[in-house]
Amino acid sequence: MFDTNELVLNMGPQHPSTHGVLRVVLRLDGEKVVDADVVIGYLHRGIEKLSENRNWTQIILLTDRMDYVAAATNNVGYCETVEKLMAIEVPRRARYVRTILCELQRIASHCLWVGTHAMDIGAMTVFLYAFRERELILDLFEEFCGARLTYNSMRIGGLPLDLPPGWDKKVLQFCDIMESKVTEYEELLTHNRIWRERTKGIGLISGADAVALGLSGPPLRGSGVPRDVRKDEPYAAYDEMQFDVPVGTAGDTYDRYLVRMEEFRQSIRIIRQATEGIPEGPIVGKVPRLIKPAAGETYHAIESPKGELGYFIVSDGKSTNPYRFRVRPPSFCNLQGLRPLIKGHLIADVVALIGSLDVVLGEVDR
Amino acid sequence: MVDLFVIPLLKIVIVLNATLVAVSYLVLLERKVIAWAQSRLGPMRVGPYGILQPIADAVKLMIKEDITPARADKWVFTAAPIISMVPALIVYAVIPFGPVVNLFGRHVSLYIADINVGLLYIVSVASVGVYGIILAGYASNSKFPLLASLRASAQLISYEVAVTLTLVSVILMSGSLSMVSIVRAQESSHLWYAFAQPLAFVIFIIGSLAETNRAPFDMPEAEQELTGGFHTEYSGMRFALFFLAEYANMIVVSSVATTLFLGGWLRPFPNVALLGFLDIVPSWTWFLIKSFFFLYVFIWIRATLPRYRYDQLMRIGWKVLIPMAIANLLVTGILKVVFM
Amino acid sequence: MGEAIAFYVIAACILGFAVLVISTKDTVHSVLFLVLDFLFVAALYVLLGAQFLAAIQILVYAGGIVVLYLFVVMLVNLKRPPEAHADPHRKTMLGFGLAAAVLAELAAVAVYSANVPARPIVEAAAVPVTGNTEVVGWMLYTSYLIPFEIASMLLLVAMIGAIVLAKREL
């Protein structure tokens, strides 16, 4: 009746559930996915090449647009890399503010993740709730730097603006609201039988395999590997913060979900500590008027909400533009895990898995 | 003469019109309820608070271009949405909205017909509704909608078994297949069957969620994003008919649940004279309140729960609901013999 | 009078659709005409006062069995165009001969039963319940219990057979 040849199904670049312009070509045997070919590049804008024609400060604008869901994190990573190359010291106040902004971004990114992941699996209400909280964060950012999505909120050596008065009180208020809302999301999902059946055992990967694939962030920590750049190689003000890194056990979609839900709470904890302990002082360090690093290269990584975000820059010492600007995006490396993880699962699990890896195509394609 | 033709005809006209209006406003209700559950407002622009939205939707769908695929089977293509809609409407012939009342000096029964196999009629008519989905997928003349429609109809047929078994438990309790007698039996036994048969009630609700393709069992509708569901090729009024048929089925299921499990038109505690003041609310209003409660619960469930994968859905139908329904039937039968 | 009109109309529809079942070229149409046939047979049952049987006819036959016919026909039909169903080797004369034989047998049975007085199948007074469904139930569970149980055994065997045939690994 049915031919037992494999069916090729195209989840095209325009698709409601692929979180951007991602194309997955599935080879199916009945309902089971035999193989998956991930085609990327639909959002390639040439950011790395464009950077070679921009000076070091202008590149901050471009970095916003890679992981557009968590733009401030990109900014921080880039600025810290240049500061590392030029050995610029960032004042303590600036480092604290950077930490607060990074953690607010982590919460905002995870809000978007939980909303879209839940909606793909059918729980549409969580999407609206998560975006309601994300709006609060975007309002905070708008008050700080004037933009809601692409902030351009860092400068090499510190920040362009100091915090507006009363901003830290609003941040603390937000933390209180957010804690109760995270409990709300968990009530809707964590112990829900349908949610567990849709996410437990999907996309299982062991810790060793995850390391071999180059995963980072929650996909790596969900498999039991306790690697977090904030703990292992602290940057900004993380060495002065007290927080835990949630680590999963089984390495399936449910564990990755639990890891990110706990990261919500840890981020709130960090924000509270940083906001309450923020020191007075200058907001930007001693930076030369013209930023022209000496010849050399460096690599620096930070923990973005998606995973380990790394920047490799090469300066030739002669011009005000970088010689080479290379990004190690976490979504790109995590997306490599889609193909081995999806084998053997059903079509309906593909969207659950893409949501679990939390990819942003802006980062993957640059 | 009047009693034989005019009054039933009048009843049919009233019931059909009321049902069609109710179905379109049920769409609005769902949009509003889900919106309020999601911290937003829903349709607000068309008419005060969005009241006229269903009319706008109906006009829009009616003036849309009617596209028929070139190589599709024209008769079947046109018949499929009709076959989907008609069973949902003709079930109302046996649903009792109230007892015999005195209207304008005549004894008028608030139901169109009371046949002695009323419940069986409902089940058999519902089983014919499956053809609409199968034919829609077939008429689209391509492999994916056909397979999607076969899966959707397989889901419907599987859950029909569980639902019918729970109905048999109700028949055992009431001793009759006629819908009016079932309500009378609940009245005389002083107990709504939702409390006498809680397991059957729960299985009926879950089974009817799956029968009407509602969340959390709406994977055939959601998977359309991936593989093109059974109504891919439909547009305009034909698509509207499918859409309305789904909501009409929801209302049918709520009405049947009300009649069988919540005492139909009876007010709470019909035999307690102390609560006689509740009689100012007419019988059909109680019926509508109870049906509305079910509809609200269905919409609430859709706003809250994620959806099951298709294989998990079928597993629940066959491996969980059917054994539980059979066990419930067994226990009901044994208890009935022991205590009669 | 009204009953006679109703009977003849329904019977004409049944025969008409039955002819369409075998004469139409498209297999799916053929199955759909069969469904219509079953619905009209159910109407005939209602006319005869067997409401339970009518509902069961629709529920089981039209709503269950023919649905599965339709599944199979649709899945097979995907590959063959309607023209492939015309069989050049059809033996028309043999068909006519067999149909004439069946007609002769029916005529013989009709003549025989017209000359022999009819015996009631069931003594109406022997059944202590009234109402169509109740009488059917009573007869099924007392006089015809063994055929009923054998029929359910048959269905169980068929179900198990279908599962064994369809499963890839047990």
Q: Which of B37, B226, B303 is the closest to A347 by Cβ?
A: B226
Q: What local confidence, expressed as pLDDT, does residue C42 receive?
A: 93
Task: Assess whether pLDDT exceeds 60 at residue B46.
Answer: yes
A153-167, B268-282, C79-93: the lowest-pLDDT one:
C79-93
In this complex, is the C-beta atom of B319 within 8 Å of any C-beta atom belonging to chain C? no
* Residue ranges covered by each domain of chain B: 2-339
Q: Band of the pLDDT at B67, cuts 50, 70, 90?
A: confident
Instruction: Test C56 with B124 for CB contact under 8 angstroms.
Output: yes
Q: What local confidence, expressed as pLDDT, does residue C82 receive?
A: 57
Q: Which two tokens stand for residue A256?
A: 């990755």
Q: What average pLDDT does this structure show over A320-344?
A: 90
Q: What average pLDDT does this structure show over A296-324?
A: 90
Q: What is the C-alpha separation between C146 and C23, in angstroms, rounded? A: 40
Q: Band of the pLDDT at C88, cuts 50, 70, 90?
A: low
Q: What average pLDDT does this structure show over B6-18?
A: 89
Q: Which of A17, A129, A198 is the closest to B309 by Cβ?
A: A198
Instruction: Test B39 with A195 for CB contact under 8 angstroms.
Output: no
Task: Assess whether pLDDT exceeds 60 at residue A96.
Answer: yes
Instruction: Test B150 with C75 for CB contact under 8 angstroms.
Output: yes
Query: In the 8-state DSSP scheme, what is residue A346?
Result: B
Q: Tell me the per-residue pLDDT of C137-156, one tens digit each, with 9 for 90 and over.
A: 888 888 889 999 999 999 99
Distance from CA of C120 to the nearest CA of B (A): 25
User: How many C-beta neighbours within 10 Å does residue C86 have?
Assistant: 8
- A5 CB neighbours in chain C (<8 A) are none
Q: Band of the pLDDT at C126, cuts 50, 70, 90?
A: low
Q: What average pLDDT does this structure show over A13-41?
A: 83
Q: Which two tokens stand for residue B128?
A: 């014919």
- Does B233 or B33 have the greater pLDDT score? B33
Distance from CA of A2 to the nearest CA of C (A): 8
Q: What average pLDDT does this structure show over A266-287?
A: 89
Is there a contact between A288 and A100 (Cβ–Cβ < 8 Å)? no
Among chain C residues, the shortest Cα distance to B141 is held by: C78
**How far from B168 is each of B145, B157, C149, CA to CA, in Å?**
35, 17, 19
- Does A336 or B277 have the greater pLDDT score? A336
Q: What average pLDDT does this structure show over C18-33?
A: 87
- A1 CB neighbours in chain C (<8 A) are 75-76
- B115 CB neighbours in chain C (<8 A) are 51
Q: What is the C-alpha separation between B43 and B173, in angstroms, rounded? A: 44
- Does C73 or B225 have the greater pLDDT score? C73
Instruction: Test B134 with C59 for CB contact under 8 angstroms.
Output: no
Instruction: Test B305 with A11 for CB contact under 8 angstroms.
Output: no
Instruction: Test B157 with C59 for CB contact under 8 angstroms.
Output: no
Q: Band of the pLDDT at B1, cuts 50, 70, 90?
A: low
List all chains that touch chain A, counting a touch as 3 or more CB pairs closer than 8 Å.
B, C
Instruction: Test C59 with B123 for CB contact under 8 angstroms.
Output: yes
Query: According to the 3-state scheme, what is the secondary structure of chain C?
Result: CHHHHHHHHHHHHHHHHHHHHHHCCCHHHHHHHHHHHHHHHHHHHHHCCCHHHHHHHHHHHHHHHHHHHHHHHHHHHCCCCHHHHCCCCCCHHHHHHHHHHHHHHHHHHHHHHHHCCCCCCCCHHHCCCCCHHHHHHHHHHCCCHHHHHHHHHHHHHHHHHHHHHHCCCC
Q: What is the C-alpha separation between A229 and B185, in angstroms, rounded? A: 70
Q: Is the dihedral of CA B243, B244, B249, B255 positive or negative?
A: positive
Burial of A341 (0-12, 13-18, 19+ CB in 10 A): buried
- B150 CB neighbours in chain C (<8 A) are 71, 74-75
Which residues are CB-contacts of B145 (< 8 A; sequence separation ≥ 6)? B136, B137, B228, B229, B230, B231, B232, B233
Q: Which of C51, C58, C67 is the closest to B116 by Cβ?
A: C51
- C37 CB neighbours in chain B (<8 A) are none
Task: Assess whether pLDDT exceeds 80 at residue C120.
Answer: no
Distance from CA of B123 to the nearest CA of C (A): 7
- Does B211 or A11 have the greater pLDDT score? B211
- C62 CB neighbours in chain B (<8 A) are 124, 127-128
* Among candidate residues B87, B167, B86, B168, the one with its CA nearest the CA of residue B127: B87
Q: Band of the pLDDT at B322, cuts 50, 70, 90?
A: very high
Q: What local confidence, expressed as pLDDT, does residue A1 receive?
A: 42
Q: Tell me the per-residue pLDDT of B188-223, one tens digit each, with 9 for 90 and over.
A: 888 888 888 899 999 999 999 998 888 788 877 776
Size of interface A-C (CB pairs under 8 A): 3
Testing the interface with B: which of A194, A195, A253, A353 to mutate, by most B Cβ within 10 A? A194
pLDDT above 90: percentage of residues in chain B: 29
- Does A181 or C24 have the greater pLDDT score? A181
Among chain B residues, the shortest Cα distance to C62 is held by: B128
Testing the interface with C: which of A1, A2, A7, A32 to mutate, by most C Cβ within 10 A? A1
Q: Tell me the per-residue pLDDT of B220-278, one tens digit each, with 9 for 90 and over.
A: 777 655 566 677 777 778 888 888 888 999 999 999 999 999 988 888 877 777 777 77
Q: Which of B117, B128, B146 is the closest to C62 by Cβ?
A: B128
Task: Assess whether pLDDT exceeds 60 at residue C47.
Answer: yes
Q: What local confidence, expressed as pLDDT, does residue C143 receive?
A: 84
- B177 CB neighbours in chain C (<8 A) are 133
Q: Band of the pLDDT at B112, cuts 50, 70, 90?
A: confident
Task: Assess whether pLDDT exceeds 80 at residue B103.
Answer: no
B309 three-class SS: coil
In this complex, is the C-beta atom of A1 within 8 Å of any C-beta atom belonging to chain C? yes
- ipTM field: 0.84
- C79 CB neighbours in chain A (<8 A) are none
Q: What local confidence, expressed as pLDDT, does residue C86 receive?
A: 61
Is there a contact between B242 and B234 (Cβ–Cβ < 8 Å)? yes
Instruction: Test B309 with A123 for CB contact under 8 angstroms.
Output: no
A263 three-class SS: helix
Instruction: Test C67 with B123 for CB contact under 8 angstroms.
Output: no
In this complex, is the C-beta atom of B90 within 8 Å of any C-beta atom belonging to chain C? no
The fourth-level CATH superfamily of domain A43-365 is Cytochrome-c3 Hydrogenase, chain B (1.10.645.10)
Among chain C residues, the shortest Cα distance to A2 is held by: C75
Q: What local confidence, expressed as pLDDT, does residue A110 receive?
A: 93
In this complex, is the C-beta atom of B123 within 8 Å of any C-beta atom belonging to chain C? yes
Q: Band of the pLDDT at A261, cuts 50, 70, 90?
A: very high
pLDDT above 70: percentage of residues in chain A: 98
Task: Assess whether pLDDT exceeds 60 at residue A12.
Answer: yes
A21-30, B243-252, C11-20, C101-110: the lowest-pLDDT one:
A21-30
Q: Which of A125, A192, A346 is the closest to B38 by Cβ?
A: A125
Q: What local confidence, expressed as pLDDT, does residue C153 receive?
A: 95
Query: In the 8-state DSSP scheme, what is residue B317?
Result: I
A127-141, A340-354, C69-83, C149-163: the lowest-pLDDT one:
C69-83
Q: Band of the pLDDT at B2, cuts 50, 70, 90?
A: low
User: Residue B103 corresponds to which amino acid?
Assistant: L
- A121 CB neighbours in chain B (<8 A) are 306-307
- B225 CB neighbours in chain A (<8 A) are 15-17
Q: What is the C-alpha separation between B300 and A164, in angstroms, rounded? A: 43
Is there a contact between B138 and B216 (Cβ–Cβ < 8 Å)? no
Instruction: Test B306 with A346 for CB contact under 8 angstroms.
Output: no
- C76 CB neighbours in chain A (<8 A) are 1
A256-270, A291-305, B106-120, B231-245: the lowest-pLDDT one:
B231-245
Q: What average pLDDT does this structure show over A162-176?
A: 90
Q: What average pLDDT does this structure show over A219-247?
A: 89
In this prediction the pTM is 0.86
* Residue ranges covered by each domain of chain A: 43-365
